[in-house]
Amino acid sequence: MSELSVNHKAKTLLAKIQSVKELALNVNSYVVEIAPGVEFNFSAGQLALIRKEGKSSGIGRAYSIATSPQELPRLEFCIRLYPDGRVSSYLKGVKPGDSLLLQAPFGRFVLPTSVTTHQPYIFVATGTGIAPIRSMIRHLLASGTVHPLMLIHGTRSESNLYYRAEFDELANKNKITYLKTLSQADTSWTGATGYVTELMSANLDQSAHYFLCGNPEMVRDAALLLTETGIKAVTIEKW
């Protein structure tokens, strides 16, 4: 089994909101900056707990960090806002200049540290499960990785292909292979359609390490597909 790089002690952090941007209906990007002078680090793919109303004893929810460790002290979160969400309702009202109380880092959905040097990495995401995978890809590219990188992103509609322009640019520069599929595409969509597991099946690589992140049904089906084809190098995160 590959060693995981998760040796970072969790801390309570105060962060100031730099920007709030709508990525799609009920999905926002929040860019925050950690207060000056605070020593903090995390492994790409890890998450932070955001506390409601900035109270350390209050209600909190975990959200994956969508930026790389190299981009500190800035962090970005890709967050789906639910109508009755205990933290979502709070986040709907925040604005640039406001502060958030975070506890981080947590989670073991990270890159392995002991792998074959040129082993392909294949990232499979649905919806906002793209957040920790974006962190990993940005970290790998900033580190000068020699791993071939493929991203397979499945969503319902074209508007839910979060960070599409960024990944398209990376693909155009031959830094990653970027595949996308829609399960509820309209007539204007000319790309792949269907579930993400169908796109996985058409692009299986026995030598690759797979990273799966998204809704439990996708993760279950994708993991089963990999198991049935004898692929054992799999790292999983369920939403």
Question: pLDDT tens across 93-150, in order?
Answer: 999 999 999 999 999 999 998 666 789 999 999 999 999 999 999 999 999 999 999 9
User: Cβ neighbours of residue 93 under 8 Å, at least 6 residues apart?
Assistant: none
Q: What is the pLDDT of residues 40-57, one digit of tens each?
A: 999 999 999 998 765 666
Whether the CB-CB separation of 218 and 195 falls below 8 Å is answered with: yes
Specify if 84 maps to a domain. Answer: yes
Give yes or no: residues 130 and 68 share one domain: no
For residue 16, the enclosing domain spans 11-106
**Is the pTM higher than 0.85?**
yes
Specify if 162 maps to a domain. Answer: yes
Give yes or no: residues 218 and 172 share one domain: yes
Q: Out of 57, 76, 106, pick the residue that ends a domain.
A: 106
Ordered alpha helix ranges (H), the chain: 88-91, 130-142, 164-172, 196-201, 216-228
Give yes or no: residues 148 and 85 share one domain: no
* Number of structural domains the chain divides into: 2
User: Cβ neighbours of residue 228 under 8 Å, at least 6 residues apart?
Assistant: none
